[in-house]
């Protein structure tokens, strides 16, 4: 029987990458690890207890929250406040940012932004879902309350980001700016074990992930790229394969392992895009770049976009470099005036 390095051991071993953190970031990641275990347990109960389906409550974006959305949000929030390493959080499920008003939290150096349960509508049909998180150092004075500026930092200021995919096996994938590493959860001993060290996107791929049901509403550059993916061409190994799960974490994770591109563009109904810059695009873009891929809004690197509001939406393109380069060519050629 082989013995794998645990997530806790890996974090401690690599703590020297953050001499300024003094163990705080280690404790913060441990809080996320604990919350992920709890959410994983509840997801595995789905169908056995009354925790699936809609809650009857709408979030600030006017979307109906699922029961598990709200549950996961509370689990992660409670885990993060418990250790006092986080002074506040912003969540897709919260109207406003949340300030942790206790002495330990006031003196904390980090804020966390998160999508507690990405793709939660897929729970009812037993399809993989995930959690996305993003960590920044606060810029407001330590000892006082957090400010909006702490959360509206450009993506390149992230000190760590990652996701948990709850599927046939549960994996936690994260980066602290020194590569991307994946840990698979072993429920028999209750630990995340290092299973994918230094993960990288293949330079090319054969998978394109996009909701083609919205084809008629896409910008012309996206339409032309989809047609390009579908054309036969032996020199570029086309046609490509269409694979779309409808959970950003799951689609991104598959493309990270196999090579591919994920596109969620603007549409006529959502002219600024649909995915949230702070909770989904920034953390995934950080992971993508650390894994040797690209992430843009079709033109500009996601990590260079300056956030202007908590629930800001943007178009999102991410994936293997060769596929992204071709998509960018189509976007530039057919850029709408």
Which residues are part of a known binding site for Mg(2+)? 92, 115, 117-118, 280
From residue 298, how far is each of 153, 273, 332 by CA, in Å? 21, 11, 8
The answer to whether the beta carbons of residues 320 and 260 sit under 8 Å apart is yes
Half-sphere exposure of 156 (CA within 13 A, CB side): 7
Give binding residues for substrate as ranges. 118-121, 211, 244, 274
Length of the chain (residues): 337
Distance between CA atoms of residues 302 and 285, nearest Å: 6
The answer to whether the beta carbons of residues 322 and 204 sit under 8 Å apart is yes
- Which single residue is written with the structure tokens 């850029």? 335
User: Residue 33: helix, strand or coil by DSSP?
Assistant: helix
Give binding residues as ranges. 92, 115, 117-121, 211, 244, 274, 280
**For 124-144, b where at least 16 C-beta lie within 10 A, e where not — what string?**
eeeebbbbbbbbbbbeeeeee
User: Residue 69: helix, strand or coil by DSSP?
Assistant: helix
List alpha helices for the chain, DSSP H: 7-13, 24-43, 67-82, 103-106, 148-151, 220-230, 248-258, 282-290, 321-333
Distance between CA atoms of residues 162 and 284, nearest Å: 7
* DSSP conformational letter for 321: H
- Specify which residues 294 forms β-bridges with: 319
């Amino acid at each position: 029987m082989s013995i794998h390095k645990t997530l806790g051991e890996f974090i401690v071993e690599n703590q020297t990458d953050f001499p300024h953190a003094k163990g705080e970031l280690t404790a913060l990641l441990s809080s996320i690890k604990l919350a992920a275990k709890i959410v994983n347990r509840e997801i595995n109960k789905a169908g056995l207890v009354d925790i699936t389906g809609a809650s009857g409550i709408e979030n600030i974006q006017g979307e109906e929250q699922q029961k598990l959305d709200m549950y996961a949000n509370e689990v992660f929030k409670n885990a993060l406040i418990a250790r006092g390493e986080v002074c506040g959080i912003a969540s897709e499920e919260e109207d406003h940012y949340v300030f942790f008003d206790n002495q330990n939290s006031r003196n904390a150096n980090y804020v966390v932004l998160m999508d507690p349960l990405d793709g939660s509508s897929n729970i009812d049909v037993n399809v993989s879902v995930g959690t996305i998180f993003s960590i920044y150092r606060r810029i407001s004075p330590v000892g006082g309350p957090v400010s909006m500026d702490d959360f509206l930092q450009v993506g390149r200021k992230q000190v760590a980001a990652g996701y948990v995919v709850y599927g046939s096996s549960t994996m936690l994938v994260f980066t602290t700016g020194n590569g991307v590493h994946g840990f698979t959860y072993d429920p028999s001993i209750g630990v995340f074990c290092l299973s994918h060290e230094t993960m990288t996107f293949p330079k090319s791929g054969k998978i394109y992930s996009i909701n083609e049901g919205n084809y008629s509403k896409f910008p012309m550059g996206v339409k032309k790229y989809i047609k390009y993916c579908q054309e036969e061409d032996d020199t570029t190994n086309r046609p490509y394969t269409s694979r779309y799960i409808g959970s950003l974490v799951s689609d991104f994770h598959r493309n990270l392992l196999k090579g591919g591109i994920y596109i969620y563009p603007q549409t006529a109904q959502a002219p600024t895009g649909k995915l949230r810059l702070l909770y989904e695009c920034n953390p995934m873009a950080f992971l993508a770049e650390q894994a040797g891929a690209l992430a843009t809004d079709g033109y500009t690197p996601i990590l260079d976009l300056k956030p202007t509001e908590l629930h800001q939406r943007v178009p999102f393109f991410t994936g293997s470099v060769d596929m992204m380069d071709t998509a960018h060519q189509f976007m530039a050629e057919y850029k709408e005036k």
